[in-house]
Amino acid sequence: MKKLERLQKILAQAGIASRRKCEELILSGKVEVNGVPVTTLGAKADPQEDVITVDGKPIESEVKLYIMLNKPKGVITSASDPQGRKIVSDFLTGIQQRLYPIGRLDYDTEGLLLLTNDGEFANLLTHPKHHVPKTYLATVNGVPHGDKLEQLRKGIELEDGMTSPAEVEYQDVQADHKESTIRITIYEGRNRQVRRMFDAIDHPVTRLKRVKFGELGLQNLKRGGWRPLTPKEIAELRAEAAKAEGSSRHVVSDKPAKKPEWKPKPKPKHLSEENKKGKPEAAGRKPARQKQAAKPVGSRSRDSYAKSVLSPIIAEGEKRSAAEARQQRSTSQGGKLQGSKPQGSKTLGRTGAASTERKPRNDQQPQAGKGRGSSQRQASGGADRSGGRSSEWSSSRPGKGSSSQSSRRSHKVHK
């Protein structure tokens, strides 16, 4: 059974040219399969069974080569240059196979460059969906502040669109702060991308060097030197491309971000236990906000606080008002009853009748010369000899016609 592959891929893997150049050869009619010219880009063939020729010469399977070159500044990353400038293949002395670069470094950029005649391997490392990281040391004018580096980390708008987020950190800063070296890792392969990114933050690049391709480092390879990659390094690059396939870090979309599904927060243990005992809540529904319990009667609030402060004052005022009212009543009654005995009191007169009035407490005794006693003394026309006692506690002083016996009896009763 034939193993068919696209014709331009077969030519690129044979080391004829890059895949784009091979497409141009097919369209120009220079490629034949089994003696029949092929001018369709979608044509397929089996390299093991079919005879494929370019300009009448059959292609042969070449030994696959994988080269790492430390490209110097001022060299063109191309297999040929019509202007006669130095190209990277000029440094690959002793190699007969036709090699082409994996990706590009511009004229003024130096550092790590990979070359191969394995078109499949080259496409694996350069395809946009694989996003193999590439690390550079960029020497720029001035010292970019943190907010400007943060723009590079989030992605910055260029003429050809938004860049993917980059990894950026300070590598070195000169003492006079005229220049600084920034380590930056990108996941794309646009033309002069790093230089344009630093131009966008107003810190143009004065020197640019690529130091890593994936996990492969330049190490101690001298400028202009090259070496073949080891089988382990080739396998690591393939694994890096396979790992990054489909995991783009650059997301450009006009659609709004999807709102995350709401999930209720976990409740404390003591609340969850109470809910288990009570009525269970509906699944997926936000728990209702519980109403605050009514404050107990004795809780401290503005009203209770006002009452606690004002109650003693109000009670004291009421006592004073009651005392003044009693005093006014006693005064008014004393004025009306001048010369008569107080109501409810019984004293011994000439008949010798005993008084039955109840003796009050000491704190309720009216002062001497006031109230009912004063009115009685005024009525009797004599001074109270009881030493300040109220008239309620002593009998009225008898008049001139009273006997001493009745006075002594009244005194004994009230003792």
Contact 384, 377 (CB under 8 A): yes
Q: What are the C-alpha distances in Å from 379 to residues 352, 365, 367, 401?
A: 20, 20, 18, 15
Domain-embedded: residue 369: yes
Which long-range CB contacts under 8 A does 271-278 form with residues at least 24 apart? Answer: none
* Residue of 46, 55, 81, 106 marked catalytic: 106
Strand pairing of 57-58 and 44-45? unpaired
Strand pairing of 205-213 and 109-116? parallel
Domain count, the chain: 2
Contact 206, 141 (CB under 8 A): yes
Domain-embedded: residue 405: yes
Q: How far apart are CA 396 and CA 409, in angstroms?
A: 12
DSSP string, 312-331: HHHHHHHHHHHHHHHHHHHH
Q: How far apart are CA 79 and CA 402, in angstroms?
A: 158
Domain-embedded: residue 255: no
Domain-embedded: residue 3: yes
pTM, to two decimals = 0.52
User: Tokens standing for 135?
Assistant: 């690390």
| Containing structural domain, residue 371 | 330-335+365-415
Q: How far apart are CA 408 and CA 31, in angstroms?
A: 163
Domain boundary (45, 61, 77) is at 61
Q: What local confidence, expressed as pLDDT, does residue 261 receive?
A: 57
307-336 burial: b if 16+ Cβ within 10 Å, else e? eeeeeeeeeeeeeeeeeeeeeeebeeebee
Domain-embedded: residue 48: yes
Q: What local confidence, expressed as pLDDT, does residue 308 receive?
A: 64
Q: What are the C-alpha distances in Å from 94 to residues 23, 115, 153, 229?
A: 28, 15, 43, 16
Query: Which of 367, 372, 365 lies closest to 331 in space, CA to CA?
Result: 372
Q: What local confidence, expressed as pLDDT, does residue 109 receive?
A: 95
Q: What local confidence, expressed as pLDDT, does residue 263 receive?
A: 59
Domain-embedded: residue 21: yes
Is 106 annotated as catalytic? yes
Q: What local confidence, expressed as pLDDT, does residue 126 receive?
A: 84
Which long-range CB contacts under 8 A does 87-96 form with residues at least 24 apart? Answer: 88/113, 88/115, 91/224, 91/225, 91/226, 92/67, 92/226, 95/65, 95/67
Domain boundary (33, 61, 89) is at 61
Domain boundary (41, 61, 81) is at 61
Query: Which of 111, 106, 126, 249 lies closest to 191 in space, CA to CA?
Result: 106
Domain-embedded: residue 260: no
Domain-embedded: residue 403: yes
- Residue spans of the chain under pLDDT 70: 1-2, 61, 244-310, 333-415
Q: How far apart are CA 116 and CA 229, in angstroms?
A: 10
DSSP string, 22-83: HHHHHHTT-EEETTEE---TT-EE-TTTS-EEETTEE--PPPP-EEEEEEPTT-B-SS--TT
User: Tokens standing for 398?
Assistant: 């008898």
Q: What are the C-alpha distances in Å from 270 to residues 273, 279, 292, 293?
A: 5, 15, 18, 18
Q: What local confidence, expressed as pLDDT, does residue 57 receive?
A: 87
Kindly report the CATH number assigned to the domain that includes residue 2: 3.10.290.10
Q: What local confidence, expressed as pLDDT, does residue 253 receive?
A: 40
